Amino acid sequence: MREAKSIVDVRPPAEVVPHPSAYAGQVRTTVPRVSVIIPTFNEAKNLPHVFSRLPDVHEVIVVDGRSVDDTIEVARTLWPDVRIVLQNRRGKGNAMACGFAHATGDIVVMLDADGSADPREIPRFVQALTDGADFAKGTRFANGGGSADITRTRKWGNRWLNRIANLFFGTRYTDLCYGYNAFWAHCLPALELDAGDRGSDAKLWGDGFEIETIINTRMAKAGMRITEVPSYEFERIHGESNLNTWRDGVRVLRALIVERVNGKGRRSRRNLLAHAAESARDVHRIQPNFAVQPEDEARWG
């Protein structure tokens, strides 16, 4: 068995690995490395279900919000090479920002720990990215998607928030409030997320549930190529959800307004790809298609 790794405190972000479009006709011989970011808070009972369905990825990063159960120990037992990061403030947004800062893969996947998102769908997201998207946005409302958990009220609210987002940012989102997403690591600078330790666990703007809306809107403002990926949402297996329909709906609406008022982001897709191409100047042979191979599909099934 591989030796388990210790808790991560501070580590500089990894060098960004280029998007395939940066290689302009070259041929790549390897599939992209995938980093899966899983925020946790007292998820010890749910992790066995989630980890048993994970594909063989480059790394799994569990970002823990000071759980008082055995979340960290269970994660290490199930996945000995798991990387544990302790978030420095409260909230899902801060957990994601901390996880992103420690990712070393080419592709970053956002995965909930409660069993509602199916890890076996990860190849779908990878395929969308290797086919040319910068951002693969999960949706429960496309053919092949669905939900066993969404209420009528949440569905209605999501529909109206989609309309507002699409009006503000020229997007075609069908599921703004769904958090199962993936993107190329070179997109991270466009998100401008704060993972710094401020010496306090008090929430900052972006540290809460609004993180998903911030990511969705900043990807659009940076001009990223966005593809929606059908996904099925299951009910949480154990524990109680932290979601509050009205409170979180207001946070999403506020995030849309704030991001609209703030205008375009400082990092454009063109600039980020130029940096990615510069990083790839020593790469000689690159495959035109990063698609998941049939044998991988069988192994991950």
Asked whether 125 and 163 are in contact (CB, 8 A), the reply is: no
Q: What is the pLDDT of residue 27?
A: 41
pLDDT band at 290 (very low <50, low <70, confident <90, very high): very low
Radius of gyration for the alpha carbons in the chain, expressed in angstroms and rounded: 18
Q: What is the distance, to the nearest Å, from the Cα of residue 301 to the centroid of all Cα atoms in its chain?
A: 21
- What would the pLDDT profile of 162-213 be if each residue is shown by its tens digit? 999 999 999 999 999 999 999 999 999 999 998 988 878 788 888 888 999 9
Averaged pLDDT for residues 96-105: 97
> What pLDDT shows up at residue 126?
98
The per-residue pLDDT for 274 is 61
Q: Contacts from 3-6 at CB under 8 Å and sequence distance 24+? A: 3/80, 4/76, 4/80, 4/81, 4/82, 5/81, 5/82, 5/83, 5/84, 6/84
Burial 185-200 (b: 16+ CB within 10 A, else e): bbbbbbbebebeeeee
Confirm if 184 and 266 have CB atoms less than 8 A apart. no
203 Cα distance to chain centroid: 20
Q: Quickly state the pLDDT bin for 109 (edges 50, 70, 90).
A: very high
* Topology adopted by domain 13-283: Spore Coat Polysaccharide Biosynthesis Protein SpsA; Chain A (3.90.550)
pLDDT band at 152 (very low <50, low <70, confident <90, very high): confident
* Percent of the chain whose pLDDT exceeds 70: 75
- Give the residue extent of every domain in the chain: 13-283
Q: Are 168 and 162 in contact (CB under 8 A)?
A: no
Residue 266 pLDDT > 50: yes
For residue 275, what pLDDT is reported? 61
For residue 247, the model assigns a pLDDT of 77
Inform me whether the pLDDT recorded for 245 exceeds 70.
no
pLDDT of residue 270: 65
Distance from C-alpha of 206 to C-alpha of 210, rounded to nearest angstrom = 6
More confident of the two residues 50 and 282? 50
Q: Which residue has the higher pLDDT, 284 or 70?
A: 70
> When comparing pLDDT for 120 and 13, which is higher?
120
What average pLDDT score do residues 73-89 get?
Answer: 97
pLDDT of residue 273: 66
Q: What is the pLDDT of residues 86-97, one digit of tens each?
A: 999 999 999 999
Structure-model confidence comparison of residues 98 and 155, the more confident one: 98
- Top pLDDT among 110 and 271 is at 110
Q: To the nearest whole percent, how much of the chain has pLDDT over 90?
A: 61
User: What's the chain's average pLDDT?
Assistant: 82
Q: What is the pTM of this model?
A: 0.80
* pLDDT for 53 beyond 90: yes
**For 124-137, what is the mean pLDDT?**
98
pLDDT computed for residue 236 by the predictor = 82
Residue range 278-287: mean pLDDT, rounded? 42
